Structure 1
Amino acid sequence: MAGNIEETLAALRHQIDSIDNEILDLLNRRAQVVIRVGAAKSGQGSDFYVPSREKAIYQRLTAANPGPFPNEGVRRVFREVISACLSLEQPMKVAFLGPPATFTHVAAMQQFGMSAHLVPQKSITAVFDEVIRGRAPYGVVPVENSNEGIVSHTLDMFMESDLQIIAEILLEVSHDLLSRSGRIEDVRKVVSHPQAIAQCRHWLEDNLPDVALVDVASTALAAQMVAEDESAAAIASEMAASLYDLRVVKQKIADNPNNFTRFLVIGKASPPRSGRDKTSVMFSVKDEPGILYRMLEPFSKRRINLSKIESRPLKKKAWEYIFFLDIEGHIAEDHVREAVEELRGYCQFLKVLGSYPSAR
């Protein structure tokens, strides 16, 4: 009986080896075609990274997938296939708000894959500067959290920059408690970014009520500090545990399990339509009665959904505000373009920040 089982396993493993060889051959055939695509793009001056094209690939493959291989697995596998192939066309350099192992780093990896050259920056301003100066064609910055709200510094940077939004990333944020020993009884202080500590406040009060809470600049820096301090624990990502050789004390300690952060990919030109897009604009309006109603009317009468409205004070004038809108649709669509142009008539200034594929 044991011999029959071994023979069956050997035959199945031989099939797997043969299939793997076929996959390898197909990957290399795909890479050869991608190299030809890169050569054609170079001749035309076209963008190498096209988020709408990637989205179409994922949608086509998941729709055609008969199983049992899961759709999320399909997306992850092809994320890395596309990333590796893009690196054959042109090295993909991406600036992100660092240090490594921050959630922005995780988001950048989710969007660009492991083959991209991801370069950490010390601030949101530095990410914008890298892209403006052409040292990196793309940057990744946080813009809002489902629990804590808007990242105001990112919105402020769009007031000073002509960069465009070319994609958005939605990342489920999972906070883990990490330490060198992995034992909760060894923890004498908890270190993390103040936003992460705030999102885990109830768990900390229930489980570590007498432990000191220490604010630092990022969750990744907290993990780096804890790697050198046996009495401390960090609230950070699973990636941080791997990078800094830490053990998990407790997984998923956030008070609200539905915790998502939205990130923006910034570049110098918006991508073409993908079929399911979002357009972001910023503007200031003349201060007069009924102006808030009139600024929304162009979208209401065309039945255009606004997925976000945000206001920020103008730094140069007291009690005057700049507004940010996220509009469903692409600026190349007639009804979206017409609504934005009608809004422009009420504005002191208006800038389209980009049209880009909506995240899943």
Structure 2
Amino acid sequence: MSDKPSGSAVDNDVPSLQELRVSIDGIDQQIHQLLNQRAVCAQQVADAKFIEFEAAKAAGEDPQEVLFYRPEREAQVLRKVIDRNEGPLNGKVVAHIFREIMSACLALEKPMQVAYLGPEGTFTQAAAVKHFGHGVIPQPQQTIANVFSQVEAGESNYGVVPVENSTEGMVTHTLDSFLNSSLKIIGEVELRIELHLMAQEGVEAGAIKTIVAHQQALAQSRQWLDKHWPHVERVAVSSNGEGAKMAADDPTIAAVAGNMALEEYNLVSLSSSIEDFSNNTTRFLIIGREPVGASGSDKTSIAVTTRNKPGALFHLLQPFQDAGVMLTRIDTRPSRTETWTYVFFMEFEGHVEDPKVKEIIEALTEQSVVIKHLGSYPKAAL
């Protein structure tokens, strides 16, 4: 019986390093050829869509604009990638690779413009990259309201806005923006939030007079800042990217932001992982002008306005109980149109085309003042 360990350098079953390198080169060539085949197919898809569009116009119909991006289709593809993966690569790692392949191929059909809460280096930009890949044209905006208006005006194809944080709750500016907007939620993305305290390289700790960040980031690191920087003024700014930009221009300012801002503005991390909770996660919504078809694993968001009367909330919740549908989120905001009237933002599993969801919508319509469908969209695949 041999005493040599399995997989050792003298194992005759293991190819030589040179043979392995030749194999990798051959596989890379095959991958390259397949990538180009897929890209050609994507270009043909674009041509086919234009032909259908022009044929509809010639027939006297009034077709909608050509839709190149289909969120439900991409969610289905990514789920299949994860489900069929056999390793050794992790399923989500492979899905991220496919995400970039689809992004590059979609850019061949039509480059998409995506607005997000800027400037460069924000977590919203990171969320946009995670959801769309690097093949889109980023359009940073100063405020959440600007993201909405940019998409509404058609200056951007889609927008990305933060909606809730696992430790600090809902982003009210985003919720309020939906009340007067015709835009639909077409997707979601979750991002693990790791915060750094950053400043210019070579700056001494004693030189820091102000710490800046978005109010959510300051809240998410409040305990850590109280312990380590208790006497330094904290100032909330429009975004973490804006805070990092300020730190890059002023050696007396330190910023709380993420990795992307650290790299974008050539800052150094004074301390990393300063968020108070290790599972700190922010959820973002993708907004667009057109509704999305069912993907097979979806969520629906609605806004329901009702008067403040006994049993109002109970009657809103009862249809979900009766239909056996999971309500995943509910938040309340005061209505701005009538005193003591409230808007309930409700999120639940299913698509508006599902029979059970239709029953819920009908039941809520009967008892509410106003009901607004904000969108049905695929659950985050990555």
| TM-score, L = length of structure 2 | 0.88
Q: Does 1:356 align with 2:364?
A: no
Which amino acid in 2 is paired with 1:196? A
Classify 1:86/1:172 alpha carbon distance in 2 versus 1 (closer, same or farther; 3 Å). Answer: same
Aligned to 1:109: 129
Q: Deviations over 1:26-73 (max 9, x none)?
A: 100000111111222233455211122111111111222221122232
The range that moved more, 33-42 or 85-94, is 33-42
SS in 2 for 1:304: coil
Report if aligned partners of 1:183, 1:249 keep a CA contact under 8 Å in 2.
no
Structure 2: how far apart are the matches of 1:163 and 1:117?
Answer: 20
1-structure distance, mates of 2:313, 2:88: 52
1:187 and 1:211 in contact (8 A); partners too? no
Q: 1:14 aligns with which of 22, 27, 32?
A: 22
Is 2:48 aligned against 1:40? yes
Instruction: Measure the CA separation in 1 of the matches of 2:376 and 2:94.
Output: 26
Aligned to 1:196: 217
* 8 Å Cα contact 1:170-1:263 kept in structure 2: yes
Determine helix, strand or coil for the equivalent of 1:94. strand
Q: Describe the SS at the equivalent of 2:163.
A: strand
Moved more, 281-290 or 156-165: 281-290
CA contact (8 A) 2:351 2:376 kept: yes
Q: Deviations over 1:245-293 (max 9, x none)?
A: 1122222110111111111111112211111110111121245443322
- Aligned-partner Cα distance in 1 for 2:111–2:288: 16
Structure 2 portions without partners, runs of 5+? 1-8, 10-14, 54-65
Quick check: 204-213 or 160-169, which moved more? 204-213
Q: Shift of the alpha carbon at 1:350? A: 1.0
SS in 1 for 2:249: coil
Residue 83 in structure 1 maps to residue 103 in structure 2: yes
Counting aligned pairs with the same residue, the percent is 42
Note the aligned Cα RMSD (angstroms): 1.9
Change beyond 3 A, Cα 1:212–1:161: closer
The answer for the alignment partner of 2:114 in structure 1 is 94
Counterpart residue number, 1:270: 291
The whole-number CA distance in structure 1 between the counterparts of 2:268 and 2:17 is: 35
Residue 125 in 1 paired to residue 133 in 2?
Answer: no
TM-score (ref. length: structure 1): 0.93
Corresponding position of 2:61: none
Partner of 2:351: 330
Shifted more, 90-99 versus 12-21: the winner is 12-21
Alignment check: 8 A CA contact 1:145 1:261 kept: yes
Per-residue Cα deviation, 1:216-261 (whole angstroms, up to 9, x for no partner): 2221111112223334322111011111111222221101111111
Cα 1:203/1:183, change in 2 over 3 Å? farther
SS of the equivalent of 1:59 reads: helix
Residues 39-48 or 277-286, more deviating? 39-48
